[in-house]
Structure 1
Amino acid sequence: MSADVSFKEYAIVACGTMSPELNHLAETGFLDAAKIIYTAPGLHQKPLELEKQLLKQLSEAKKYARKIIIVYGGTYCYINVREPLRTIDTVIDGMREEGYYIARTIVHNCVDMVASTEERDEIAAGGKIWFCTPGWLKYRNNVFEGWDKAHANENFPQYTGGAVMLDGVGLFNRYMEEKVEEILDFSDWMGIPLEARDVSLERFKNVLIAAMAEEDKPVS
């Protein structure tokens, strides 16, 4: 990772689920963006609301920078069952205009931002694991809005290897010390055990760098 990378000319528009990682990168000096703006966590279940908030935050971001990186995945972060051919990139394309550089992080979802398929396969070791990031615990009520215990029972027990949080910010350990009941309640609600694996945020840094304009990317 080059020390010369800078995001000073960029605004970041991101799903709030990724705020723990993005705030950490900002606080530790890597992400020196002109502005970081979030949509609400958990909007993957609400495509119309996601569109509304994303367009609003994109318009806001344009006040701070002419280069914008949208931190959303392309496969699972926007699912429109009424218009299956409409994707998050379709939404973003509608906001492009001359004089602005707008790019999206090229990943499937938030889990893919912090650990590759190969890394997740290594952690799973052949087991069927449900992976999540710290935001899924921190913003559980948003992410699983409208889900009841029956809905959870339909989805989580199939993950016979349990749930693994890919934690690059130490949130799980903080919760174990200060809010252990929230971990236990989440695990009980899912019906499977929840554990954490510490991960580096190097992959996430590289995902952000890859979304930069070519002239801004550091020379390796």
Structure 2
Amino acid sequence: METVSFEDIAIVSCGTMSLELNALRDEGFLNTDTIYFTTPGLHQDIPALETQLVEKIHKAKEHKDKVIVVYGGKFCYVNVDNPLRKMSNIIEEQGPGVGRVNATHCMDMIADEATRKQLALELAGDENVWWMTPGWVKFKDLVFKGWDKGIANENFPKHTGGAIVLDGIGFMDKYMTDNPEAFLDYCDWMGIPMQAAPVTLDRFKSLLVEQANALA
């Protein structure tokens, strides 16, 4: 993979992706000292999402001239009050030097559609899958804020292939070992089984490199 420095770039991300970004920083790939996170789960509160995102971008620009936004486009920002307003509009309004990773949502940042289809075939017999990243597990109470058992029953069981966590940081093994009761409670609340799909962070890295080059 191409080597790129992120020293002069700030990152603004949904907090759901904080686990992967901190892992990349720890391994030395993401050599920036400026990373800001919005609250996980704001896709359910569009006004708060837009407010926090813009605030974090402005804060980041106080330190760096270039900012990479780690948010999906198609699914992370769905404005029912103004359907024509997209995530791309928010990014464009922040002026030059701000770019966003080219992905539809956080799962797509870790594994593209073709990879997810192959994983579904291998792990779930090509049944309908509820995809997650480790952040959806760690930050459950924020990501599913306001969801009761009734809403869960309306959404999860139709995913007959269960839930698959795209895990590029070894989170699930530790989670299931350290918190077996929480893991079982999560599965019970969803009404479907949950399993991990060990993957690499290569796609995520490539998306970050792509934007770093675009901002160069």
Give the TM-score normalised by structure 2: 0.95
| Residue number in structure 2 paired with 1:44 | 43
Which amino acid is the alignment partner of residue 48 of structure 2? E
Contact 2:127 2:160 in 1 (8 A): yes
| Residue number in structure 2 paired with 1:136 | 136
Q: What is the distance in 2 between the residues matched to 1:35 and 1:172?
A: 27
| Residue number in structure 2 paired with 1:28 | 27
Which secondary structure state, in structure 2, belongs to the residue aligned with residue 131 of structure 1? strand
- Matches for 1:1-220 after TM superposition, within 5 Å: 1-2=1-2, 4-96=3-95, 100-125=96-121, 126-214=126-214, 216=216
Q: What is the distance in 1 between the residues matched to 2:181 and 2:203?
A: 31
- 5+ unaligned residues in a row in structure 1: which ranges? none
Q: What is the distance in 2 between the residues matched to 1:182 and 1:121?
A: 28
Q: What is the distance in 2 between the residues matched to 1:20 and 1:13?
A: 14
Q: What is the distance in 1 between the residues matched to 2:138 and 2:203?
A: 22
Deviation, 1:215, is 7.1
Which secondary structure state, in structure 2, belongs to the residue aligned with residue 135 of structure 1? helix
Coordinate RMSD, CA, aligned: 1.1
Contact 1:101 1:213 in 2 (8 A): no
Contact 1:34 1:64 in 2 (8 A): no
Which runs of 4 or more aligned residues in structure 1 lie more than 4 Å from their structure 2 counterparts after TM superposition? Answer: none
State percent identity of aligned pairs: 46
Which secondary structure state, in structure 2, belongs to the residue aligned with residue 160 of structure 1? coil
Deviation, 1:214, is 3.7
Give the TM-score normalised by structure 1: 0.94
Contact 1:47 1:79 in 2 (8 A): yes
Q: What is the distance in 2 between the residues matched to 1:103 and 1:15?
A: 14
Which secondary structure state, in structure 1, belongs to the residue aligned with residue 154 of structure 2? helix
Contact 2:4 2:212 in 1 (8 A): no
Which amino acid is the alignment partner of residue 13 of structure 2? A
Stretch of structure 1 that moved more, 144-153 or 123-132:
123-132
Which secondary structure state, in structure 2, belongs to the residue aligned with residue 78 of structure 1? coil
